[in-house]
Structure 1
Amino acid sequence: MNRITFTAPILLLTSALPTTAVAEDVVVTATRYETPITQTLSAVTVLTEEDLKRYQDDDLGTLLSRLAGVGLVNSGSLGATSNVLLRGTSSSQVLVLIDGVPSVSASTGQTSFSSIPLSNIERIEVVRGPVSSLYGANGIGGVIQVFTKSPAKANDDVYVTGSYGSNNFRRVGAGFQFSTDKTRAAADIFYTGTDGFDSTTLTSDSNKDADGFSQYAGNLSVDTRLSDDLLLGINHIQSSSKAHYDSVCYTGFTATEIDWQTQTELVNSSLSLDYDLSGTTRFSTRIGRYVDDSVNSDGDDSANDTQFKTTGYTANALAERNLGDVTAILGLDVDSVELESTTNYDENERLNTGIFTSLATYVGDFGLQGSLRFDNNSAYDTYTTGTLGASYLVNDSLELIGSAGTAFRAPSFNELYFPGYGDENVEPEESRSVELALRQFTVGGEWRLSAYRIDTTNLIGSDPNTVTATNINEARIHGLELDVTQQFGAFDLAVNSTLTDARDADDERLNNRPEWTLFAALGYDYGQWRFNTDLQTESGRKNGAVALGDYAILGLGSRISLNDSSTLSARVDNVLDEDYVTNYDSSSDSYYNTPGRSFKLSAKYHF
């Protein structure tokens, strides 16, 4: 069945994927195997290398906040903690992968987004909606998969690059790639540093200073064809970051304000083997290792340092079979996690085994996709999740999609075992989701209108009487997203907008979920020049009884290719110097600051 359609009317009101993805794009995150984007029923956003060049963002959280259904809760200057929310779910309810391997702290259950270097990223795929039936724990809101830079076919290259901007921001890097008949390799190394700005509104002398950030990062990617049917791949990314931040500590009833710093080491490695048994049968396996090592320090006495080091090992195998219009997969995941810490946890390791299967078929104008997964975990026993979706082509270009699924979030080591807080009886959070969508692919773009509901039970919080972790709450999220992207000659337009109503069991709004967001970007190519402008706005964000205010941020950028070897680019963010916040700390009655007007100049030279 031909699912690539002709030019159709574009809904000019709101929403789009901030990418130039077209109907021929192939994605892997939505199904765990290579699938044309036209044959995935999930809401998928693809961010390409061109998008990274367009927005010139300094951190992953800021880039992701430009997408439909994505919220960002920032805690100050570059390198500060960032929580990324998908469809109103919490950061710990979102699964993050790097080249197929998880990136998560076992202690908090969250991902250190500031430690994942944008400079070493080539592509990002974001799937919104329940994904536990394919990936297991923490897939309530969706999955974000980062793909590191990989070698291009038959394109040897050596380059250097550098950037300078506001707050003494500087970034320098170099990389290379080469290819032979059977082997391709690419490597990059970068240094990023900034003096930063004051992260909070805390007014003591120790917290009035700027909070700087520095990071060294590198990646290596190699793939070699051992035979016509057998491909071996190696991916490795590593970063070492140091971020300063403001904080208030309490000794008894006395508040002591300290200028803290966090040293974070992130390592993510994988070895994969893909075997094409025939034209209809494929087998792939991957082993991986991930490390999230965080040390909090007052910068003075190492005896006060606290360390939380997660080390995980993963192994998975997947068989894919294509029989006419039917595609079936069967997979196995094994994930072992260990936590080392200066805190004495009651338990410091756990093992998870997951078995999953998926089936997709198209008959005439109808499509059907379903997946089922069984997980067994040494900490919380067993769990079963499933997803079912169906589609119908209303005409040659308009598709109606309906889906429903269950998902869960595993309790973190803090919630299970932290001394004085954890409780081994805490159970996983559970969710049920339904979605109804209209979608249309066009010659120059696509649009999708999605309405969804997520009901989550067993939400983990603190017992008001014992101040220990417990399953204490429920949440209900209603959302409406409209995504549009379209090419008009030399112009390309991307718009996305999201309406979110996220409430707990008492009908109180959940913290840090804006009620409405809008992002619009317009690009124009003129000869060797590329011009970009974008607008990001939101309203209705609250934290408890504190309204954080509405805002609109304007960005401008340009890029010129001087020749085949040299590229210059410039970017101005928050052109109107909007004063806004996305986070508030009720314990210290302080706000987390955000960047004012800022600029950046960059250059890249290929030898």
Structure 2
Amino acid sequence: MRCALQLACLRSSASSLFPAVSLSRSSLLVAALAASLGLAAAPSRAQSPLVAVPSLDAVVVTATRSPMRVDEAIADVTVIDRAGIERSEGQSLIEMLARESGIQFSSSGGLGKTGSLFIRGHEPRHTLLLIDGVRVGSATAGTPSIDNLPLDSIDRIEIVRGPLSSLYGSDAVGGVIQIFTRRGQEGFHPNAHAAVGSHRYGRLGGGAAFGDGRFDGALQVQTLDTDGFSATNARVPFGNFNPDRDGFEQNAANLRLGTKLGESWRLEGLLLESRGEVQYDDGPGADARARLRTAVQSLQAGGRVLDGWHTKLIAAHSVDSYDTVATANPFYDLGVIETSQKQFTWENTFATPLGTALALLERLDQDVSRPAAPFALSDRRIDAVALGLSGSAADHSWQASVRNDRNSQFGNQTTGSLGWGYAFSPAWSVGASYGTSFVAPSFNQLYYPGFGNPNLKPEEGKETELSLAWRSGGHAVRAAWFDSRIRSFISSGPAPVNIPRTRIDGVTLSYEGRWSDFVFGASLDRIDPRNETHGASFGKQLPRRSRVAFKTHADWIRGPWSLGATWAAYSDRFDDAANARPLPGYGTVDLRADWRFTRDWSVGARLNNVGDKAYETVFGYDQPRREAFLVVRYEPR
């Protein structure tokens, strides 16, 4: 309530001082500036900084569907905590994820625009997105819904690289990204923030986590508005160039409530709703606009059945909606394209002499709709069963899983994985793994009028990985080699076909650690994503991936202060399968500073793309030039 009143006061003050301006945009900017100016007069006390030191033994659940430390996982795993998320002011979730090793991105022009992630050089549709265990994404486009997710609702993110279809089913070829929303805490812990920046960017949000030992919850709200910049330039194909600004508005809220049921059982519910309106370019004249909606509702119950046997039940529903409300292109249909997914999961873990065993049953119902002519088929059902085992003894560790998915369209798909690790000294370890995976074609690929191919088959992958890791004190180094081969790869563009063979192999080197007051991280990715089918595209580089990517970051932390910088550099890439449209390589530098000037208040500044670099990740679509952002945060300690 306290946080909600603060947000209401900020809005009320802005409205009374500037009654003629639009509350949806200008009030955000005025309120945030007023907050920052007013807070500057507050007394200063040295407090802990916002930047968190990397945790090299964080607990993850995504790698095996059961809790384990990062250093126990054979797979390549990364955890992004709340402090890391807060250092990303002005960036999209896609841009933030792309700072991590093994991940690249493409974007069609800034916040809210269509973006894609490439994990280890794999297609965007080869990444599975989960929110608190619930599958989220578009079954029409076939890609995860990342563009419209609010950063303010996220507590932490787990990234697992490599095939995980044997645990999660379709789409988990390149990896899995699982987002965990904020959850309740004992006591009452409010938070609020206001931010302003380039392109008339404004963001206002707040919430609270609360609990009394038996009942707990978390509520978070956010509103964001930016005028943006022109998403396209004169190079864009099909005459889509329009030099106007392409803005983005977003309003989001999530509520998570939980309660204990007896000594070992817990019931938890989640509601997440994010609605956005994005402007984009599809030709001169009328400004094209679309309304975005991402929604998740889930109810989960879990606890101990017997000693060594824990169970969890999930009933969930997610919605991905794209409503075209205005367009300059007469060939585009106005109206809503929507994916509805209903998920039912029964997950059990058992303590055995060989480790933790997993037994899982799952059902997924997907329904899609589009304006004008409907798809030839608009729904499908997937029933799945999976078994897994993870354990360790002496210096050895192992992880194995197998899953069968029965798809109402494509029949049975069985996938499996096997991993082994060996610690040959207290600091050094090696790992080896092999896994298979698959991706079912999207409804657009199959049935989109005039473009789809109903004869497409699922893509099938297999990947081998070898790794070497060193961990000592606060330092961790990891080297991984992987070789991924995709059979029946689905081509992009109209009238897609199954390409017999593609191959992606590569090496990733990464480091995280701390020396004195400095926190460092760096990664180098060298991948070779290519078409191995004989013909005109034989040996061609797969579109929109750089063969080489280098990223490094450093933060200095002392008392209430932190200063940091990030540098990312990418080699040349191509925008098309024929490698006829090159995209030059580029590098960007970002700077950041944070100051916790009282126990409960902090201020942060960020300067993105310091060198004002002009670059493209999609041919003809601009990326942000130099941008500055200021944020004030309130979070009682």
Equivalent residue of 1:333, what SS?
A: strand
Q: 1:433 aligns with which of 452, 463, 474?
A: 463
Once the two structures are superposed, the pairs formed by residues 348-387 of structure 1 within 5 Å of their partners are 348-387=378-417
Equivalent residue of 1:571, what SS?
A: strand
In the alignment, the residues of structure 1 paired with residue 104 and residue 492 of structure 2 have an alpha-carbon distance, to the nearest angstrom, of 24
Give the structure 2 partner of residue 157 of structure 1: 189
Instruction: Give yes or no for contact 2:475–2:513 (8 Å, CA) kept in 1.
Output: yes
Instruction: Give yes or no for contact 1:206–1:257 (8 Å, CA) kept in 2.
Output: no
Once the two structures are superposed, the pairs formed by residues 503-582 of structure 1 within 5 Å of their partners are 503-505=530-532, 506-543=538-575, 544-582=579-617
In the alignment, the residues of structure 2 paired with residue 594 and residue 435 of structure 1 have an alpha-carbon distance, to the nearest angstrom, of 34
Instruction: Give yes or no for contact 1:22–1:443 (8 Å, CA) kept in 2.
Output: no
Instruction: Please say if 1:289 is aligned against 2:317.
Output: yes
Give the structure 2 partner of residue 443 of structure 1: 473
> Match of 1:502, as an amino acid?
P
Q: 2:440 aligns with which of 407, 410, 421?
A: 410
Q: Deviations over 1:224-264 (max 9, x none)?
A: 1111110111122110011111124xxxxxxx765311211
Instruction: Please say if 1:105 is aligned against 2:133.
Output: no
Instruction: Give yes or no for contact 2:224–2:249 (8 Å, CA) kept in 1.
Output: yes
Give the structure 1 partner of residue 515 of structure 2: 488
Q: Scaled by the length of structure 1, what TM-score is found? A: 0.91
In the alignment, the residues of structure 1 paired with residue 110 and residue 592 of structure 2 have an alpha-carbon distance, to the nearest angstrom, of 22
Equivalent residue of 2:233, what SS?
A: coil
Equivalent residue of 2:287, what SS?
A: strand
Unaligned runs of 5+ in 2: 1-50, 533-537
Instruction: Give yes or no for contact 1:473–1:504 (8 Å, CA) kept in 2.
Output: no
Once the two structures are superposed, the pairs formed by residues 247-266 of structure 1 within 5 Å of their partners are 247-248=282-283, 259-266=287-294
Give the structure 1 partner of residue 357 of structure 2: 328
In the alignment, the residues of structure 2 paired with residue 311 and residue 163 of structure 1 have an alpha-carbon distance, to the nearest angstrom, of 33
> Match of 2:502, as an amino acid?
A
Q: Deviations over 1:425-468 (max 9, x none)?
A: 311001110000001233213221000010001012379xxx63
Equivalent residue of 1:221, what SS?
A: strand
Richer in strand (by share): 1
Instruction: Give yes or no for contact 2:282–2:328 (8 Å, CA) kept in 1.
Output: no
In the alignment, the residues of structure 2 paired with residue 301 and residue 502 of structure 1 have an alpha-carbon distance, to the nearest angstrom, of 34
In the alignment, the residues of structure 1 paired with residue 188 and residue 557 of structure 2 have an alpha-carbon distance, to the nearest angstrom, of 26
Q: Quote the sequence identity (%).
A: 28
In the alignment, the residues of structure 1 paired with residue 563 and residue 435 of structure 2 have an alpha-carbon distance, to the nearest angstrom, of 41
In the alignment, the residues of structure 2 paired with residue 19 and residue 346 of structure 1 have an alpha-carbon distance, to the nearest angstrom, of 51
Instruction: Give yes or no for contact 1:404–1:433 (8 Å, CA) kept in 2.
Output: yes
Q: 1:419 aligns with which of 438, 443, 449?
A: 449
> Match of 1:365, as an amino acid?
D
In the alignment, the residues of structure 1 paired with residue 240 and residue 329 of structure 2 have an alpha-carbon distance, to the nearest angstrom, of 20
- The alpha-carbon deviation at position 55 of structure 1 amounts to 3.1
Q: Decide which moves more: 339-348 or 163-172.
A: 339-348
In the alignment, the residues of structure 2 paired with residue 408 and residue 290 of structure 1 have an alpha-carbon distance, to the nearest angstrom, of 22
Once the two structures are superposed, the pairs formed by residues 47-66 of structure 1 within 5 Å of their partners are 47-66=80-99
Q: Deviations over 1:330-366 (max 9, x none)?
A: 1011100111221311111110011001112222222
Instruction: Give yes or no for contact 2:469–2:477 (8 Å, CA) kept in 1.
Output: yes
- The alpha-carbon deviation at position 536 of structure 1 amounts to 0.9
- The alpha-carbon deviation at position 24 of structure 1 amounts to 2.9
- The alpha-carbon deviation at position 155 of structure 1 amounts to 4.0
- The alpha-carbon deviation at position 419 of structure 1 amounts to 2.6
Instruction: Give yes or no for contact 1:497–1:519 (8 Å, CA) kept in 2.
Output: yes
- The alpha-carbon deviation at position 33 of structure 1 amounts to 1.3
Q: 1:72 aligns with which of 84, 96, 105?
A: 105
Give the structure 1 partner of residue 24 of structure 2: none
Q: Deviations over 1:28-82 (max 9, x none)?
A: 1111111122221100011000111223343110001101110101111211100
Give the structure 2 partner of residue 168 of structure 1: 200
In the alignment, the residues of structure 2 paired with residue 377 and residue 206 of structure 1 have an alpha-carbon distance, to the nearest angstrom, of 41
Equivalent residue of 2:281, what SS?
A: strand
Give the structure 1 partner of residue 46 of structure 2: none
> Match of 1:603, as an amino acid?
V
In the alignment, the residues of structure 1 paired with residue 518 and residue 584 of structure 2 have an alpha-carbon distance, to the nearest angstrom, of 33
In the alignment, the residues of structure 2 paired with residue 413 and residue 128 of structure 1 have an alpha-carbon distance, to the nearest angstrom, of 26
Equivalent residue of 2:94, what SS?
A: helix
Instruction: Give yes or no for contact 1:339–1:349 (8 Å, CA) kept in 2.
Output: yes
Unaligned runs of 5+ in 1: 1-17, 249-255, 585-590
Aligned positions, number: 573
Instruction: Give yes or no for contact 2:64–2:390 (8 Å, CA) kept in 1.
Output: no
In the alignment, the residues of structure 2 paired with residue 596 and residue 131 of structure 1 have an alpha-carbon distance, to the nearest angstrom, of 37
